[in-house]
Structure 1
Amino acid sequence: MRELAQFIIDNVGGKDNIYSVSHCATRLRFKLKDNSIANKDKLKANEKVVSVLESGGQLQVVIGSNVASVHAEVEKLLNGGKASNESIEKEEKTKFNFFTFVSGIFAPILPAFAGAGVLRGLTLLAIQFGLLNPDSGTAQILEVAAMSVFYFLPIMLAYTTARYLKVNPIIAMVIGAALINPKIAEMMGDIGNGARSEFFGIPVVLMGYPSTVLPIVTSIFVYSYLERFLKKVIPEGGQLVFLPLISFIIMIPLTLITIGPATVFISNAIAGFINGLIEKNALLAGAFVGGGWNGLVSVGLHWAVNPIMIQNIAGQGYDYIVPFTFATNFAMMGSAIGVFLRSKNKKFKRYALTTALTIAFSGITEPAIYGVAIPLKKPFISALIGGAVGGAYIGFSHVKSFAFTYGGLTTLPSFSGGESGNMINALIGLGICVVVSAVLTYILGFDESVEKI
């Protein structure tokens, strides 16, 4: 990994050309001083690099499922991952990009979502088959294990947002913890959301913030400006005490009085609008999302929708969009299988099978998208069509997911629970995705003269 990390650093322009580097599930995301210096062709020629692309002002080097290990080595080589003050100041002046921000704060939490999602699905599956009594201590402890990641989401997002914005993560976590302090629920009493209190005579509308996303992310975004201001006006010797003191006095009441209620309303409105569209014409929504999601993934725009799915799972216990993302993953798997069956090139066949298995067992599609589908073109089109057909069936059947997970064979238990037939319809829809994409890929064929796959 150290050799690959050094190779990547050298070919993005060296240490001096790097403001910062982060990663998501499969990609290293570089903020560079000058993107034109990067040697994209040489990066792409490396067998351990799946693809290279520019999106949202970033240079993204697609590595695959071992990206975290490569990222760790890159940070070690970049002086322990510590940028100079000059680099940080220059980076702060660069244009803010919403998609980069969202991916940066959610990527570190995704493994926890995946593990918790599978655990919750398996628990629901055991309950459905009568293997587990839902009122037993075992079932309740498993529920705690699976749902804690959602309940304490404000604290985790406070940490990742603070890390991304380069402010004190511990102070940020305290702000997140304040939102889910049991005292808030006690103050709400039997009234619940909408109960009223006051802070020095200022009216406060109390809300429940466990499992919420937008309130804490917005709060820490505001806090990042406050911290930078306080560091400029408070002498260094007094920052240990007065920076957190002033931050707590300002940010926690401000969040409870204004930021929290406003963002909860916005979150509920957005989620309600999207869920309403899906329920109104689920077949069309399934075809559109199931067919188009791979396109969003290919340019990194899928991160904009992830918070909505997480909010739905956390708030109402299920989501309609997650099944559509499963559809698009299984469609891409089908295209990779089609390439494996049709290709006469041993290298193509081996790589296509590897990417299909990667989707099946980890739900990660980027190696198949950048390494197989896009270079060969027609398999990508086949995946879009397969995802649309299977997604339409899933939407028409109103399939729900009861966990936020990557779409693969290992995460199928996330369809356990709810109405009878939910799991069966999910399996039928996903089977359609695989078969349609594989058959279309095989029939349409592809040009095997592509140099790198």
Structure 2
Amino acid sequence: MSEENKHRATAAAILPLVGGAANVTSVAHCMTRLRLGLRDRSLVQEEALKALPAVMGVVEDDTYQIVLGPGTVARVTPEFEALVEAERADAPEEPAAPAGGSDPVTAEELAAQGAALRAERKARNATPFKLFLRRIANIFVPLIPALIGCGIIAGLNGLLVNLQWLPAVTPALAAIASGFMALIAVFVGYNTAKEFGGTPILGGAVASIIVYAKVADVEAFGQHLSPGQGGVLGALAAACLGVYVEKRCRRWVPESVDVLVTPTVTVLVSGLATLFGLMFLAGEVSSWIGDAADWLLAHGGAGAGFLLGGLFLPLVMLGLHQALIPIHTTLIEGAGFTVLLPILAMAGAGQVGAALAIYLRLPRNTSIRTTIRSALWPGFLGVGEPLIYGVSLPLGRPFVTACAGGAFGGAFVGLFNQLGTDVGSTAIGPSGWALFPLLDGNHGLAQTIAIYAAGLIVGYVAGFVATYWFGFTRTMLAELNAAPDEPAPASAAPLATEDRVAEKV
């Protein structure tokens, strides 16, 4: 089967298991996940979905997220969208419901209603802060592929320059690697307006002011502006202001002149505010973020690394990691790399080490061991969702010990930052082994790679040791290692029987 047919087959297998095209309200994807808006989540056949060979796991959030892995998700998504459109085009109109009485409600229908109510309650419980962070993530996530591609090219160019190879080619590579970063504010402005309900091109137009060379002729707060001052934070603020102005204009501008007045007023008002306020303020905030990161790692590198590496998985579970995306981007824009990502990537190393310990501690649990075998290699490459949601989190204690592994790995990398050796990444998105091509620092690529690799090893070992010795109670081990035809011990805690864990896996 060709690659194209394989991805089409994956999309075709997923569609009926999520309730068909009629149940799909939106389709998008990020680095690893197919993100679906669904009308009724009770129609999802989750166990059958998880059983598909291409599916590494599922995550329920504001969207229903199917983990397919990097590369695969970008190829499956357009096939899935095409199938949704085709099925909608071929679907006959539904007849109106007959008047009068209805059939008795079945137990299955009651269960479906209960699932829908649970989903509705979960949606109501979404806090405004978390929803805001998701919207911020929606602005930056589409930029990640370009950040990765340009970051790898920048690393390759740096290597060629240091080796003094291909001197006629390196200027071209430098231009290719730097072009996107020079205009990233425009893309941020475009996506911001799109996300918050404005006209995307107007958001890009307002944000483009920040990178225009002639802003150096403008004086604000007693000093001349610099092209790019404020960066992505300034673009974010400028585009948000543009959306607000645009929406206000549409309330009072007559339709006959809307096409002339609204864009003009939006760009003019937002542009003046950007030049005489937002660029300066955002520039100060960007400088503070860079200085704060440098100070944090210079004065408390090991301790800061321990906390960051240990808390990153819980932050992911709570959705709070999305607040770090603009910070990473700001650091990359200012210093050329983010020193936070290699530390946070240690959380994945702790997760891998914990999975290896679980595999050895549960020799008779074929269900969990099978899941680990299939999810371990994606885990090494930085795709941690299958191990998190399929193994450690359902088991409980191993999730905590995996965090401990990430903490020790983060402390190791943070220590070297404290000693003056910056270990950074030129892009966000990848972690684990996939981060190697994006590494950069202030003491040469070889030393940076060596420190990061050693940090991964520390994370693996710490996660393994912590989980092997402290990840299970005796009751859990007895219960989870029980043969399928053996009864669980009577004193076993009801939290993690083999059947229940197998269902979650």
1:8 equivalent to 2:18? Answer: yes
Structure 1 CA distance for aligned equivalents of residues 76 and 245 of structure 2 = 34
In structure 2, the partner of 1:394 is 413
In structure 2, the partner of 1:278 is 297
Q: 1:403 aligns with which of 413, 426, 436?
A: 426
Structure 2 CA distance for aligned equivalents of residues 231 and 366 of structure 1 = 43
Structure 1 CA distance for aligned equivalents of residues 239 and 82 of structure 2 = 25
In structure 2, the partner of 1:355 is 375
In structure 2, the partner of 1:119 is 153
Q: 1:51 aligns with which of 44, 58, 78?
A: 58
CA distance 1:411–1:42, change in 2 (3 Å): same
What is the CA distance between 1:387 and its match in structure 2? 0.9
For 1:32-111, list aligned pairs within 5 A. Answer: 38-39=41-42, 42-43=45-46, 46-47=49-50, 48=55, 50-54=57-61, 58-65=62-69, 66-68=72-74, 73=80, 77=84, 95=128, 97-111=131-145
Structure 1 CA distance for aligned equivalents of residues 328 and 383 of structure 2 = 17
In structure 2, the partner of 1:415 is 439
Q: Deviations over 1:267-297 (max 9, x none)?
A: 3223322431222100001101111111112
For 1:191-206, list aligned pairs within 5 A. Answer: 196=219, 206=225
What is the CA distance between 1:68 and its match in structure 2? 5.0
Moved more, 226-235 or 246-255: 226-235
Structure 2 CA distance for aligned equivalents of residues 343 and 160 of structure 1 = 47
In structure 1, the partner of 2:462 is 436
What is the CA distance between 1:347 and its match in structure 2? 4.7
Moved more, 346-355 or 166-175: 346-355
Q: Which has the larger radius of gyration?
A: 2
Q: Deviations over 1:337-391 (max 9, x none)?
A: 4444555445533432332322333x22222211222123343223211111111
Moved more, 443-452 or 259-268: 443-452
For 1:1-400, list aligned pairs within 5 A. Answer: 1-5=11-15, 7-8=17-18, 14=23, 23-27=29-33, 38-39=41-42, 42-43=45-46, 46-47=49-50, 48=55, 50-54=57-61, 58-65=62-69, 66-68=72-74, 73=80, 77=84, 95=128, 97-128=131-162, 130=163, 132=165, 136-185=167-216, 187=217, 196=219, 206-209=225-228, 212-344=231-363, 345-361=365-381, 363-398=382-417, 399-400=422-423
Structure 1 CA distance for aligned equivalents of residues 154 and 405 of structure 2 = 28
Q: Deviations over 1:35-64 (max 9, x none)?
A: xx643985466314723434xxx2543433
What is the CA distance between 1:126 and its match in structure 2? 4.0
Aligned residues of 1:286 and 1:392 also touching (Cα < 8 A): yes
AA at the equivalent of 1:410: A
Which ranges in structure 2 are unaligned for 5 or more consecutive residues?
1-10, 89-123, 482-497
AA at the equivalent of 1:53: E
CA distance 1:158–1:378, change in 2 (3 Å): same
Structure 2 CA distance for aligned equivalents of residues 411 and 395 of structure 1 = 17
TM-score (norm 1): 0.80
CA distance 1:349–1:248, change in 2 (3 Å): same
What is the CA distance between 1:397 and its match in structure 2? 1.0
Higher relative contact order (CA 8 A, sep 6+): 1
Task: Report the count of equivalent residues.
Answer: 416
Aligned-pair Cα RMSD in Å:
3.4
What SS does structure 1 have at the residue aligned with 2:426?
A: coil
Structure 2 CA distance for aligned equivalents of residues 244 and 436 of structure 1 = 57
What is the CA distance between 1:8 and its match in structure 2? 2.9
Structure 2 CA distance for aligned equivalents of residues 311 and 147 of structure 1 = 15
AA at the equivalent of 1:99: L
What SS does structure 2 have at the residue aligned with 1:281?
A: helix
